[in-house]
Every structure is written in C-alpha cells, then in structure tokens.
Amino acid sequence: MHPMRVHRFVARLALMLAVSLPAMPSTGADDAFKSFKQLDSTAKMPKLKAFSPDFGATLKPPVAKNIVFEAKLTGDGEPVQQGLSWRVFSPIPADDGKLPLVASSEGGSADFQLSPGDYFVNVSFGRAGATKKLTVPESGDVDKQVLVLDAGGILLNAVSGDDTRIPTADLKFSVYSSETQEDGERGLVMANVKPNTIVRLNTGTYHVVSEYGSVNAVVRADLKVEAGKLTEATIQHRASQISFKLVSEAGGEAIADTAWSILTASGDVVAESVSAFPVMVLAEGGYTAIARNKDKIYQKDFTVEAGHNIDVELILN
C-alpha cells in the first residue's frame, strides 16, 4: 500500500476508537469509595456496655467489726482490770514461719477492729495465758469474747533459821515446771524472781528453788497455784552469813592480799575468794577455813548454825 494511504488508514482507525470508548470519570478512583457509608469518618460507632465490668462492686473492702475482749482468772470471776497483754494473730504463717501480728493491746479489757476472717487471740497475765481461735463472719455482730486464764499467783519470801530476815539483795527464786523433761531437767518458767514479787501462773504445781547467797544455801519446794488465789510462801533456809578475816591479833584489822578457801567437813571446796574480808552465806554444818598470805597457810574449823551470823577470825602465828 502506498505510504500516504497507510497514514490515512491509521488516522481514521484512531478516530473510530476514540468515538466508540466511553469517557472515564474525571474525579479519580477514590470517589468510588464514597458509596460505602459505613467507612465514612463521620459515622458513629455504637457504645459497648455489655463487656464493661463493674469494678466498684468487686473492690469494696470488707467492713471491720468492733469486738470486745476480756479475761478472767476463773470462769465465775470478775474481769481482770490491769496487767493483761493481748495479741491477735493471722493464722497464715509469714515467710519466716511466724504468725503475723494483727493487733495488740496492754491493760485490762480490749477493743479490736477486725475484718471478716479467722484469727488466733492470745492473752497473757504474767506467766499465765490463754489462746482462742476466733472467726469473724461477713455479716452480723460478734459477741463479747471472754477468755478464762485459769490462773492464780504466788508471793515468795524466805527467812534464815526460825525468823531471821534475809536481805533482799542476797535472796532470789527460780520457778520451774513440776514435770521433768526428756533430759531429766525441769522446764524453767521464770528466773531471778525477787522476794515479795507476785508471780502470775496458770493453775498447777510448780517447783520453786530459793537461793540465799551464791554458795550452797539452796532450798527447794513444790508449791500449788490455785485459780483466782494468791499463795504466799515463806521458805526457811538453814543457813547463815559468815565473815572471814586474817588478823595479827584478836579483833584486829583484816590483812590484805589474803586468799581464802572454804571446805566442807568432807574436804570439798565450796567457795574461794581473794579478799581481805570476804562475806559468804553457808548452809548449816561444819567447815574449815583456809587462808593463804605470803606463802603461809592458816586454817580454822568452824560451825554454821541457821540464823546465827558470825565472824571467823584466823590469827597469825
């Protein structure tokens, strides 16, 4: 075909295609999405309430209840007004294995604000005590809690001989349980009790040891403690206070730098001292006093009678 004719044919074909094809929108492809109204940014989504928990209802703290506690020595006795120690514990041990202390009080009756749950309540009165498990309910009031100590007391004192007063500084008591343990020893309840001191204990029998001085004047006794009663006990020591001195003449001044040994009649050493004028409390019986001074030894036999304090003089030869 002649070139001129080919050019005219192509031009005619292009015109026919332009006329037969529809016109494309002039605003672009994005306008097509306007027909989907649910994606329009101006549309409001419905509010979702069905899955919203009511935190206010579940996080309300339990209401604590006021509970009154009192303790009695006996079931029919009057409430103790002073000297009580109250302790309230959670029954769930902490990491250290101990029960956590929830509340405490000192004095007489006690008021505690306790939330619903389980507790152990302990009250002590001196060495006497009682423990009770308490459950605080979710609803309703809690009655007054009364703990019965079943306890009494003992008041201890001692004399030398029939009625010779013993200086308080030279006298002390120890209280033990009446039962012996597996090792054959008694359990110590209270040590170093001074005279005229009330010791509060649960009812039962106790083993009391009275020590006069620090050598061998020791007396033991079993005492019974009764609920609601104070037992006064005066223990009688068969011992006396003995003074020792080494002198150059009778009634003279004690010589310094003297060492002393006190032996029983059987030869056992019961006491030693390095003093010019030692004073000792010895149980009744026969003894020998030995004094050492400047490489010389002096000795003398003597007898101790209960309630008779004496001076023992050793004279230089």
With vertex at residue 212, the alpha carbon angle to CA 207 and CA 215, rounded to the nearest 5 degrees, is 105
DSSP one-letter string for the chain: --HHHHHHHHHHHHHHHHHHSPPPPSS-GGGGGGG-GGG-TTPPPPP--TT---HHHHSPPPPPEEEEEEEESSTTSPBP-SSEEEEEE-SS--TTSSPPEEEEEEESSEEEEE-SEEEEEEEEETTEEEEEEEEE-SSS--PPEEEE--EEEEEEEEEETTTEEPPGGGEEEEEEEEEE-TTSPEEEEEEEEPTT-EEEEESEEEEEEEEETTTTEEEEEEEEE-TT-EEEEEEEE-EEEEEEEEESSTT-PPPSS-EEEEEETTS-EEEEEE-SS-EEEEESEEEEEEEEETTEEEEEEEEE-TT--EEEEEE--
Rg (CA), the chain: 49
Residue 71, sorted as left (phi over 0), alpha (psi -120 to 50) or beta, turns out to be beta
Give 82-122 pLDDT, tens digit per residue: 999 999 999 999 999 999 999 999 999 999 999 999 999 99
Taking alpha carbons only, the member of 107, 88, 91, 108 closest to residue 99 is 91
Give 153-178 pLDDT, tens digit per residue: 999 999 999 888 899 999 999 999 98
Q: In this predicted structure, what is the pLDDT of residue 42?
A: 45
Give 113-130 pLDDT, tens digit per residue: 999 999 999 999 999 999
Q: In this predicted structure, what is the pLDDT of residue 4?
A: 46
- Residue 109's φ and ψ, nearest 5 degrees, are -65, 160
Q: In this predicted structure, what is the pLDDT of residue 58?
A: 56
Q: In this predicted structure, what is the pLDDT of residue 182?
A: 80
CB distance 64 to 138 below 8 Å:
no
Does residue 33 register a pLDDT over 70? no
Q: What's the predicted TM-score (pTM) here?
A: 0.72
d(C-alpha 101, C-alpha 122), whole Å? 11
The structural domains of the chain, ordered by start, are: 65-149 (2.60.40.1120), 152-237 (2.60.40.10), 240-315 (2.60.40.1120)
